[in-house]
Structure 1
Amino acid sequence: MASEIATLGGGCFWCLEAVYQELKGILHVENGYAGGQVPNPSYEQVCNGNTGHAEVVRIEFDPAVVSYREILEIFFTIHDPTTPNRQGNDVGTQYRSVIYYHSPEQHEIARQVIACMAAVWDAPIVTELAPVPDYYKAEDYHQDYFRQHPMQGYCAFVVAPKVAKFRKVFADKARAEA
């Protein structure tokens, strides 16, 4: 089996991580930072908004089980791609909507999905589409965050509803143990 990588930013990485961990065909999800100018930034530097990085998830997946297109369709369902540098109360360039593609094929699929989504949303899609830049893994305490802290305030009020929406809309794609 040859796995593939998808790198996405759509607000706080905890939200995306929690959803994709429940998707069939996902082998690994890692939170990190991409798209900035500072090598190996810290969470505090990224939150400061001066490094240019986005909070992203790097998703390793089995394309025989889940397609890149399906991953992107879920992405556009669980975050708002019409708000520049913002997801809900999370405001700043680190929360921008972005797809970093790893191949010309991913670029083309992302372009097609964005065009389809433009017909679904009432406002223009502002999702950035760019080749994958340098990527830096986030600190260990950010990994597997929702599973470790489901009752933490942000998790309970922001992450959990996104996971619930995924489970409802994509029930047929959720892992049985989820």
Structure 2
Amino acid sequence: MKKMIPILFITLLLSCQNKAQNKELNAKQNAVQMAAPVSVPSENGMERAYFASGCFWCVEAIYESVNGVSEVISGYAGGHTKYPTYESSNTGRTGHAEAVEVIYNPKIVNFSTLIDVYFASQNPTQVNGQGPDIGSQYRSIIFYQNTEQKSLILDKKEALSKKLGKPVAAEVYPFQKFWVAEDYHQDYERLHPNNSYIKNVSIPRLKRFQASMPEILKKNH
């Protein structure tokens, strides 16, 4: 019995520490969600939008197939930590999700259509992940840079929820900062077409999206 007392004490101590850490992380994440949005200025007539929708390998390829999109970059957004990495974000404790930066020409494709692409290219009711990728780092988030974008996102989310008769899982966050992912993640689907994940998950997801919105695709897709 005497030997068990120190073990019980250590167990209780660790439990209290974990609860305190989780409370601190939750407070930091709540602050991110309540922050004022950061607006990214246009550059050479191009604008930028940010989305999280499961594995960024998949999402990058989807948006790159859209006419008017010049480039898509994989990275991390939505969290409370600085300089996230693939390894740290996978712990689920950075608050970040795998995300993409979409650089687009608003004269060809607008933000409203990019939201439509977002919902058409995922399972909008899946919570905390997409397909086989489960965890907060794979959760769905749409980022807004001003009140007009926020209203548009919320309206489309509500309309889709009514159409499906189910809640839409995507979170709506004020954009704060986009952290570019490691070089080996960029253009991953294009550079690694024979990767088993790409063949079995990414490409089928891309093709399902392309079949649903063929009118907005680039001619070579």
**Given the two structures, how large is their TM-score scaled by the length of structure 1?**
0.95
Structure 2 portions without partners, runs of 5+ = 1-43
Q: 2:78·2:173 contact (CA, 8 Å) conserved in 1?
A: no
Q: Higher strand proportion, which one?
A: 1
Match of 1:100 in 2: 143
What is the alpha-carbon distance in structure 2 between the residues aligned to residue 111 and residue 139 of structure 1?
Answer: 32
Aligned length: 178
What is the alpha-carbon distance in structure 2 between the residues aligned to residue 44 and residue 121 of structure 1?
Answer: 35
Check if 1:39 corresponds to 2:82: yes
What is the alpha-carbon distance in structure 2 between the residues aligned to residue 82 and residue 173 of structure 1?
Answer: 24
Cα offset for 1:9? Answer: 0.4
Match of 1:158 in 2: 201
**Given the two structures, how large is their TM-score scaled by the length of structure 2?**
0.77
Q: What letter corresponds to residue 170 of structure 2 in structure 1?
A: T
Match of 2:105 in 1: 62
Q: Higher helix proportion, which one?
A: 2
The runs of at least 4 aligned residues of structure 1 exceeding 2 Å deviation read 119-123
What is the alpha-carbon distance in structure 1 between the residues aligned to residue 121 and residue 163 of structure 2?
Answer: 14
Matches within 5 A, 1:129-140: 129-140=172-183
What is the alpha-carbon distance in structure 1 between the residues aligned to residue 78 and residue 113 of structure 2?
Answer: 24
Q: 1:5·1:102 contact (CA, 8 Å) conserved in 2?
A: no
Q: Give the secondary structure class of the aligned counterpart of 1:119.
A: helix
Cα offset for 1:166? Answer: 2.1
- Higher relative contact order structure (alpha carbons within 8 Å, sequence separation ≥ 6): 1
Let me know the Cα RMSD of the aligned residues.
1.2
Larger-Rg structure: 2
